[in-house]
Each structure stands twice: as C-alpha cells, then as structure tokens.
Structure 1
Amino acid sequence: MNRFMELLGNKLMPIAAKLGENRYLSTLRDAFMLAFPLTMFGSIAVVLINLPFWSDEFRETLNQYLGNAQNATMSIMTLFVVFGIGYYLSKYYHVEAIFGGAIALASFLILTPFYFDSPNGEVITGALSLDRLGAKGMFIGMLSAFVSAEIYRFFVRRNWTIKMPDGVPPAVAKSFAALVPAILTLSIFLLINFIVQAGFQTNLHDVVYSVIQKPLVGLGSGIIPTLIALFFVQVLWFFGLHGQIIVNSVMDPIWNTLMLENLDAYKAGDALPHIISKPFLEVFTVGLGGSGMTLAVVITLAFFMKSKQSKEIGRLALGPGLFNVNEPVLFGLPIVLNATILIPWVLAPLVVTALNYFVMSIGLVPAPTGVSVPWTVPIVINGILATNSWLGGALQIVDFLIVFIIWYPFLKVLDKTNLARETLAENDK
C-alpha cells in the first residue's frame, strides 16, 4: 500500500504542480473569482423572486422590479470573465492590466453579432442578445480574451507604443502607450470577424459554440467525467494539494456554463436541461462540510469516538465544519497523507455524488436551479436554496448519513490506535 501511495504521489504531484502554476489556468481561476461577488448578488435576487410561497402575481411584480439584478450580473457573466482574463493575463506579463482587460472586452464584442432573432421571427438589429453575453458566449469569450491579451502583450513588448515626454500626467501617458497596441489588436479581431462573416456567412460565436463549447459541455454534464474530476480532487487533497483549485481551473468553464443554462431555463419556466452544474458540485459536495464532505467525519470524531485525540480534533473542527471550512480536520486528523483513511476519503464523495445524480435524474429530487449559493452556507439550508425545494435539504441529510456509514469503521480503527497510544502513555507515567 505504501509503495503504491509513493508511486502515485511521485506521478501526480509534478503534474498537479505544473497545472497549479500554469498561467492560463491561474488566470482563468482569477477571472471567475472576479465574477463571483457579482453572480452571487444576482443569485440572491433570483432566490428572493422565486421563493416557493409567493403567489404568481407577486412573483411577477418582484421580477419586474428586481429582475435586473440578475440580468446585470449572472446573465452577462461572460463579460466579467473576459475582462478578468485580459486583466490578469496582462498583469502576469507586467503590461498595463487595465488596458489589457478593456481590449479583451472590446475584442470579444467585435466578434459578437449585434442582432438576434425575436420570438416572432423578426431580426432585431443594433442590439445584443443576453445569451451571447452569458452561457452561450462563454467559450468564445475566453478564447478571444486569451488571444487578445497575448497579441496586446506582443506589441507592447516590442515597444510599438507612443511615448509621451516627461511631465505628461501618468494616465494620459499610459493611454497613449496603449493606443497603437490596442488599434493593432482590435484590427486583427475585426479582420477575423470580416473573414468569417464574408467568407462563411456565419459568425465566430456560432462556430465556437457548435464545434467546441457544445461538445465539451455535453461531455462535462455526464456523471462519469464528473466522478473522474471528483476522484482527482480527493487524491490531490490527500497529497496536500488544493484539489478544488487545480481541478476547478479546468472544469469551471464547463460547470459554470451548465449553471447559466439551467438558470436561463429556470427563469423561463422550462425544464432544467442539466443535473451536473457548478451548484451541484459545490452544494452537494463542498456544502457538506468542505472538501470530501467532512462534516459527518467531524461529528463522528467529536461524539462517537473514545480517544481524547479524536474527540479534541472533532470538537475543534466542528465550528468551522458547520460553515464548510475543513482545514482543521484535513491537517489535524490528519487526512493528508494518512493511508488508513484514504479509502473513505476518496470513496464517500463518489458514492454520494452518484446517488445524488441518480435521484435527480429520476425526478425524485429537483436539480439545482442555477442559483449560485455561497459555499459557507451550512448544510440543509444550502440544499434548499440551490434547488428551491426542501427536498434538496432532505437529500443532504441522506448524504450525511451515507458519509457517516462509509467513514465510521475506518475512524473506529484509527480511534482504537489512538486510544491504545494514550493508554500506553498513561501507564508510563
């Protein structure tokens, strides 16, 4: 077993370290975090509008006055991500980050059609469709932001800039320094848009959505890829690496797109198209005590074990664990590099996630609506908010009991070892 763990660690840790240091993945992670407080605000508005005890008339009134909170945040999430990518990648390259973000945003909008088909078939021109600024435009937005930031950096690094004399205000000097790189970068995107429109009678949004985004989202919405992603989260955490940050850097674009598509359908009163989404992963995994669903572990240690060490760790970790902060038990038990509890650490999230997917797929419990729930909201409450149903909270209680059953025999073995060590220490006094 130890030989296997050593071999696994030697293979995984260099790969994980490279992923964690990759400038594109770290930029993407930071860009999504830039959008996080804005989308959270929009989610709160959606929850308030759609509370189950409102009448239909009152819900419509609330939507009339509060609906823009969601339209101005979650519905245009791609805009924030695009700006964030341009900003953070430019900052990584030590060029003017604010101009990098603005150029990335303009580059994306150059590729975006300023028209859409109305429900009655009429073409509305001179307007942007919200879906192209949200879920449908996510991947083209990310691609255009990365490319524009690289092109902008290329021209700046080669000093294709206008340098103002000393004494000119810094804001003016920086604006003129960005002028030539901005014009050249945006011209390239304008040329690309012209070639696609004139040569192929389409737009790059639809090309990327059909060729790249739709297949990836379809793959990412499946239970098998989700379980594989969770497996790597748990294994990376076992070796002391932040599994969420590393894996989510790759999967967040897909899971967030699924979340936005669910939210659009929920607002329209349609059936939710996906079970897997960002809230599904957060609320029904991290939302049960942190990474690895460790609230059941903490309570088991505090109230069902006999050794002083187990009880002390459980009680110290209980407060943070209720709000899904589980570093005290990760490093205090410890879970990290503890081969005795590797099996439940990896197995419990996989079993619970598979069960949750099954009960939602058969309609027993509603899937998350697409509302983003803060990860620190305690168990049951976050389940109800994410699904807009008490069944979401009830499912979390079932999940909790399953985690308890899987972990209990392994914790009992660990507790017996701790108890024997404490007894021996007492006898030696």
Structure 2
Amino acid sequence: MNKLINWLSISFAPKAKKLFSHPWIAAVADSMQKMVPFILAGSLIFIYNVIKSYVSALPDLSNISNFTFGMLGLIVAFLVASSVMENLHHQAYIQVAGLTSIAVYLVNMTPKINEKNIMQIDFSRFGASGLFVAIVNGLFVAIIFHLWSKIHLLEDSSIPDFFVNWINDIFPILISVAIATVFVFSLKLDIFKIIQWLFSPLQGFGQTLPGFILLSLIPAFFYTLGISSWSFNAITMPIFMAGITANIAAVKTGHAPMNIDTYEVMFTSALITLGGMGATLPLNILMFTAKAKKLKILSKVCIFPSLFNINEPLMYSTPVVMNPLLMIPIWINAIIGPIVIWIVMRIGLLNIPSKMIQVGQVPAPISSVMVTQDWRAIICYIVLFTIYLLVWYPFFKVYDNSLVKESTEK
C-alpha cells in the first residue's frame, strides 16, 4: 500500500494536475463552473414550482427557468471559446471569440428562415441537451482564433492599431461562420444531431450502473489526490443535465423518469455525497470521539461546513488528501453509495428525481426528501449513514491511534 501511495503522490498526481491544468482542458472545466449560477437560478424556479403546486394563486415563473437553465447550451458556447482565449492569453479575442461562438452555435441549431424572415429553431436545443454541442462548438471557434493569432497580420505595419485589430477580428469571424454555414446550409448537415450521436455512447454509458459508479468514483479518487472534482465537469455535467432534462420531459408527457445519473441524485440529494464527496460527514462525527487532540479540535471546526455538504476544510485539514489511511474509505464509499441508490431507485423504493434542484448546500435528509419528493429518502439516509460510518470506523481508529502515538513520542 505504501508503494502505491508513494507512486500516486510522487508520480501520478503531479502528472494528472498538469494534464487538468492544460489551457484547453481547464477552459472547458472553467466554463462548466461559470455556468453554475444559471443552473442555480433555474433550480430556484423549480423549487418555487414545488410550492406553486400547493399554492395555485402564485404567478407562473417558468420563463425565468427557460431563459437561465434553458439557455445553458448558448451560454456554454460563449464561455468555452472565451475561456480558451483567456487561458491562451489572447486577450484581444476573449469577447470576440465568445460572440462568434454564439453566432456559430445558432447556425449549428439548423434554423429555418421563412419568406417573412422569421427564424424558427427548436427551443430545447438551446438548453442542457446541447451542452456537448456547445463544448465542441466553442472549441472549434477557439481553434480558428488561436490559429489566426499566429499569423500576426499587419501587426508591424504603419496602419492604425484599431484598424489592424478590426482586420484580425474579421477574418477568424468570417472563417468560423463560413465553415458552419457550408456544413449546415450547403451540405444540409444537422450538426446538432451529429454531435449528439457521437456522444450518445458516453451519455448512454453514464446512465448504466457501471457508468454511475465510475462518475462517482473517478472524481472522488482524484479528489483524494488534491485534484478538484470540477476538473471532470466537462464530462459529468452534460450527462447530468441530459439526464434530468429527459426526466423532466418524461414527466410532462405522462411517463416515469428513468435516468438515475443526474446531479440531483449524485450531489443535491446528499445521499451519495453525504457531507461532501466521499461521504465525509460520518468521519466528522467520529472525530468528536477522537483521542487525538488535533482531530477533536478539527471535528468542531469542520462540522458546520460538513452539515452543508462542504468538505474541503475536512479534506485538507485532517488531512484526507494524500492520507493512505483515509483515502481508501473515500473510494469505498464512492462505490457503495451509487450501488445502494441505484438498487433502491430501480426497484421503486425511492423516487427518481424529475425536477432540477441543484442547490447542493441543503443539509440532508432535508435535501434528500426535497429532491426525490419521497419521505422514504429519510430511511435511505439513515441506512447509508450507517454504512458509511461502518466503512470509516476502522480506518479512523487506526489513524486516530497513530496520531496519539506520534504525539506521545514527541
């Protein structure tokens, strides 16, 4: 085990951090993080709609959700292109590339313009279902602008700077939009459907039990190496968003929601991530019984954030990160949690969420009931808390005793 941990800390973790900090990869991850306020704005409306279902006199605010959560694809198209330009230090192109990406995204939606100049687009393509399309769209535009920046056209000429800047904006804009229009209007290709088809195996796998486990385990594994789970949002968020969007649509048409792998199940319900990724709240509770003075103090410091599913203070102060004894239970919990939730939801013992609620800092089991709209979530919470506690206990005791021994020796 020591050899494994040494390899992870000395060789694997630094290389992984370097990979995830690559400008192009980091730009996509940053974009997923920057879109969170729009997701939360839409989530608040879904929570409001739960209240409205009991108080019919309240006004309909669904258009707020339509133009926040319902615009995620369009927003991400801008964010990806502009974030890449920022990471590559092309300051002059940050806004222009983002705006060009929006224009190209609109083309890729395959709009139909009738004789009265009225443009018709399937509104659902602007939302969460278009996230993979938006990422590819933004990266495509970013590549065009990045390649053009290497030409340095007219930069050393006597022509005024503002005119040179215009020229160097016009050409990448024209190239980006021209390529998109050729594919969509001349070759009659539905880019949206093509990209969705290319990524459909990934989305399909994400909604299987092995996919569900991996989408829990992989971010948790890297988190124990000190790499934030945000690094994986480029992969996880489109799967989560597509899942909950399909569930919402299914309920509207009178069908049952089927997608378990959603943000609501993985995070908001706080059943899998009880106290934070890796289910660290039971560890925090165990720390109140610690013999080591350090753990006893930290238990009081970290408990408030842990109750609200924020475990960074615990992860880095205990520490759990790069701690051979405490990393393993994180990995075990990241496997057990998804398996238990998958089974109880598939056999009908707990409702599959059909409302987008991504306000993740609501304490469980309040959040568990709120997300599933099922009081049985309290039973699931108690069962999982007990399982997580049993997983943590032996590792915690060994670590606690090691700290006591170390303190005594000093």
- Decide: shared fold, TM above 0.5: yes
Q: Is the 8 A contact 2:33 2:230 kept in 1?
A: no
> CA separation in 1, counterparts of 2:166 and 2:383?
58
Gaps of 5+ in 1: 117-124
Are positions 1:96 and 2:89 aligned together?
no
Q: Is the 8 A contact 1:138 1:253 kept in 2?
A: yes
Q: Is the 8 A contact 1:140 1:208 kept in 2?
A: yes
> CA separation in 2, counterparts of 1:230 and 1:164?
57
Aligned residues: 402
Change (3 A) 1:137 1:239: closer
- What does residue 325 of structure 2 align with? 340
* Offset of residue 176 of structure 1: 5.8
Deviation sequence 1:347-404 (CA, Å, 0-9, x none): 1221122101111111211123251322322222222332233334543333222211
The within-5 A match list for 1:137-156 is 137-156=130-149
Change (3 A) 1:179 1:254: same
Among 388, 408, 426, the residue aligned to 2:393: 408
- The one-letter amino acid of 1:382's match is S
328-337 or 399-408: bigger deviation: 328-337
Q: CA RMSD in A?
A: 2.8
> CA separation in 1, counterparts of 2:319 and 2:86?
37
The within-5 A match list for 1:328-407 is 328-407=313-392
- What does residue 108 of structure 1 align with? 105
> CA separation in 2, counterparts of 1:340 and 1:205?
47
Are positions 1:24 and 2:24 aligned together?
yes
Deviation sequence 1:117-137 (CA, Å, 0-9, x none): xxxxxxxx7322122112332
Taking every aligned residue pair, what percent have the same amino acid on both sides?
Answer: 23
* Offset of residue 421 of structure 1: 4.8
Change (3 A) 1:160 1:262: farther
- What does residue 120 of structure 1 align with? none
- The one-letter amino acid of 2:65's match is Q
Change (3 A) 1:245 1:39: closer
- The one-letter amino acid of 2:249's match is D
- What does residue 183 of structure 1 align with? 174
- What does residue 184 of structure 2 align with? 193
370-379 or 142-151: bigger deviation: 370-379
Change (3 A) 1:164 1:128: farther
Among 222, 228, 239, the residue aligned to 2:208: 222
> CA separation in 1, counterparts of 2:213 and 2:10?
23
Change (3 A) 1:175 1:398: farther
* Offset of residue 267 of structure 1: 4.7
Question: Which of structures 1 and 2 has the larger relative contact order (alpha carbons within 8 angstroms, sep 6+)?
Answer: 2
- What does residue 35 of structure 1 align with? 35
- What does residue 208 of structure 1 align with? 195
> CA separation in 1, counterparts of 2:338 and 2:230?
19
**SS in structure 2 at match of 1:136:** helix
Change (3 A) 1:112 1:285: same
Change (3 A) 1:207 1:422: closer
- What does residue 65 of structure 1 align with? 60
- The one-letter amino acid of 1:37's match is P
The within-5 A match list for 1:219-368 is 219-242=205-228, 244-283=229-268, 284=270, 287-302=273-288, 304-368=289-353
TM-score (norm: length of structure 2): 0.88
- What does residue 157 of structure 1 align with? 150
> CA separation in 2, counterparts of 1:413 and 1:350?
22
**SS in structure 1 at match of 2:362:** coil
> CA separation in 2, counterparts of 1:254 and 1:398?
27
Are positions 1:135 and 2:125 aligned together?
no
Q: Is the 8 A contact 1:30 1:88 kept in 2?
A: yes
> CA separation in 1, counterparts of 2:145 and 2:256?
43
* Offset of residue 193 of structure 1: 1.5
285-294 or 155-164: bigger deviation: 155-164
Gaps of 5+ in 2: none
